[in-house]
Amino acid sequence: TDEDDDAPRRRYSRRATLQVLTDEQRASLADAKWLEGFERWLRAGDGTTAPASDSNIKRCMPQVRKLAAGAGLAYCGWSTPFLPGVKVDMTSDLIEIWHQGKDHEARYGRDLGNGWVVNHPVKKLVLYQKYLHDKGQTAPVVA
């Protein structure tokens, strides 16, 4: 038998791998009005990321606003909210925050809403941050 037959299959993502931005790259994306740009981007898409559905926007934006305000994200099954006291913006290390969200779920329990508490909103932020960086734009500008 071929030894490769027993090896676990490797899963390939259909999406591009995201590069972690440096502190300097993230700092270049600082803008007080990033939240407005983010919502416009969600609605319009960018040619790579499709426009979000109304349902997706209604679920993502409240969570993103809480993160931006530093309120953290609470969930009925968690004894401790995720990221309280930390204001998230386009200068944040969003990939690290996404990983922290996964760790939070592993510690306090899975989001039974299939990721709408932390995973989906933070992934949308990661994609928006990448879009801004790739276009060399500050947060409010949307194509």
**pLDDT at position 17, please?**
58
**pLDDT at position 120, please?**
96
Least confident interval from 28-32, 83-87, 89-93, 101-105: 28-32
**pLDDT at position 4, please?**
43
Q: How far is Cα 88 from Cα 121, in angstroms, rounded to an integer?
A: 12
**pLDDT at position 74, please?**
95
